[in-house]
């Protein structure tokens, strides 16, 4: 990384900081360096610290990069999910770029900017741990950790979208049975002797099955969100702002920002901003 060895991609944050943000067009322009910061950082960690295929990473969005990198990070740190909302938020802001009428709220952009250095420190530290520990992790242990990650992710997605009256139920109704079979086999496998380091064909089938479930659910979710359709109920995803406080003829003292479904409790992002 050369001169950016200690603080990679600081120049992108500097570009954001130096950008005018006093009108909608300026704020729309300010989104790009902020988005590129997260994208380049995830690409660097994935390719250089987690040894993921660089060609695939280069063509990926921030959200896709995050999903590709998370299984590797989960090997050494299971707190990765605390960053899911941040990644979802920066991807949502970028997805709105095609809408010429969209005005990114300054408070939201500043929240992302404030979180950027902390996220950078965490993911670089975690990525270095992955790099250092990889040689000492057996194939079987790596298999279990990867499968545990995908099982946990699949269960979370099925719980969120798998209700019989849910919008996605017809498309994913068979996935619960597939998951049950993979989980049962995983439990039985973990009861085997710790000295048995063999990975069998059925183990790989479980990993492929659960990975396909996660890929299918995340693909459907992403497809719908890009079209501002709620994957939970099929309602409209909208960004709303609601002012609170302030006296007569005075601006509000607090603004509540929410990106979510108009018809149900599905929410991508929410924040209360002091103005």
- pTM equals 0.72
* pLDDT at residue 11, as a whole number: 94
Question: Hey, which residues does 42 pair with through a beta bridge?
Answer: none
What is the band of 13 on the pLDDT scale with cuts at 50, 70, 90?
A: very high
- Residue range 77-103: mean pLDDT, rounded: 86
Cα 172 to Cα 220: distance, rounded to the nearest angstrom: 10
User: Taking residues 25-35, what's their average pLDDT?
Assistant: 93
Mean pLDDT, range 50-77, rounded to an integer: 86
Residue 135 per-residue DSSP state: G
CA 164 to chain centre: 26
Indicate whether 58 pLDDT > 50.
Answer: yes
At residue 1, the pLDDT reads 47
Does the pLDDT at position 138 exceed 90?
no
Model confidence at 268: pLDDT above 90: no
DSSP assignment letter at 236 = B
Residues in contact with 157: Cβ distance below 8 Å, sequence separation at least 6, in sequence order: 213, 214, 217, 218, 221
pLDDT-based confidence at residue 6 (cuts at 50, 70, 90): low
Average the pLDDT over 242-270 and give the result. 78
Give φ, ψ of 42 to 5 degrees.
-65, -40
């Amino acid at each position: 990384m050369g001169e950016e060895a200690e603080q990679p991609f600081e120049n992108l944050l500097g570009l954001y900081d130096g950008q005018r943000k006093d009108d909608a067009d300026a704020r729309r322009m300010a989104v790009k360096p902020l988005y590129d910061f997260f994208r380049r950082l995830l690409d660097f960690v994935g390719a250089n610290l987690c040894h993921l295929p660089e060609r695939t990473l280069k063509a990926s969005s921030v959200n896709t990069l995050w999903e590709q990198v998370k299984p590797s990070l989960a090997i050494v740190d299971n707190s990765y999910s605390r960053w899911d909302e941040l990644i979802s938020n920066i991807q949502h802001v970028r997805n709105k770029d095609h809408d010429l009428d969209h005005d990114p709220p300054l408070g939201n952009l500043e929240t992302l900017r404030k979180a950027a250095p902390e996220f950078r420190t965490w993911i670089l530290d975690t990525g270095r741990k992955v790099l250092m520990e990889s040689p000492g992790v057996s194939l079987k242990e790596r298999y279990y950790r990867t499968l545990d990650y995908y099982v946990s992710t699949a269960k979370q997605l099925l719980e969120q979208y798998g209700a019989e009256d849910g919008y996605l139920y017809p498309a994913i109704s068979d996935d619960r049975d597939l998951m049950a079979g993979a989980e049962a086999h995983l439990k039985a496998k973990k009861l085997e002797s710790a000295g048995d380091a063999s990975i069998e064909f059925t183990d790989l089938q479980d990993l492929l099955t659960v990975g396909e479930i996660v890929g299918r659910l995340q693909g459907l979710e992403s497809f719908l969100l890009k079209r501002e359709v709620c994957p939970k109920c099929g309602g409209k995803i909208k960004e709303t702002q609601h002012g609170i406080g302030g006296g007569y003829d005075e601006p509000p003292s607090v603004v509540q920002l929410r990106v979510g479904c108009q018809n149900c409790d599905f929410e991508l992002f929410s924040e209360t901003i002091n103005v």
